[in-house]
Structure 1
Amino acid sequence: MEQQRKGGWIPAVNQWKGGRGKGMEASHGLFSVFVDHIPSKMDAKSLFKFFSKFGIVKDVFIPSKRRVVSHSRFGFVRFDCNVATDIAIQKANGLLVDDKVLEVKAATLDRRKREEHNRRNPEVMKQ
């Protein structure tokens, strides 16, 4: 519970064996997708199971806070391969899960890139 308040990743199922830690993450190249409008009934384990259809999921994270504007729940799913992220974005984006339409897109870590992307692609999905 203490780790959750700090905003750290909480693996639903950790598939790495041994004490390799974060150094392996950079060398293996994990790829993240951002998932918005997560239903309130869905927890980290069910999100993990849902996205396992599209590829090998390394871990998932659903923060306790919500989006500022839409007040929707969001989270991140990390895959071990870029192809799996592309498939997850294509197949899961727009799916109806428990009366919520999932919005799935590539996660960006750099705020400047995210702002530049939003200026170039001003698509806003409203329900």
Structure 2
Amino acid sequence: MTPDPLRAEEITSAWPLGGINALAVPGVESICCFKASGPRGLVTAEGAATPALEILAKLATLRGADVLHVGGGVPGLVLYPVASGFRVLLFTADLTTQPLKTAVKREDGRTRTLDMPAWSALTRPLS
């Protein structure tokens, strides 16, 4: 099997976040995006973690936490806020070929501007 040439790129963390965001609805209990290892896996033959594994590992630490609702939005931009204890982490993904910029207004009225590089995924604290 031929290795996926994009496996080491940030897009491999952006698109699973988009899928997880779309499937965060009642009735969905699990999804499978990747093989664990090998030419198309989360871990390379050399044992290195791919960007997809890194974001999935961050999300796994928040299992059972509340996923918050986000209104509005920019086409191609995924906003996936997760509340855990007294903090909120915002997972973001740009699924477009262009950098995106948007503002997120928090419940306390403060606004946070997000600059997203094309084909990328980032995690930021909101609280």
Q: Please report the TM-score for the alignment, with normalisation by the length of structure 1.
A: 0.31
**More helix by proportion, 1 or 2?**
1
Q: Please report the TM-score for the alignment, with normalisation by the length of structure 2.
A: 0.31
**More strand by proportion, 1 or 2?**
2
Structure having greater relative contact order (Cα 8 Å, sep ≥ 6): 1
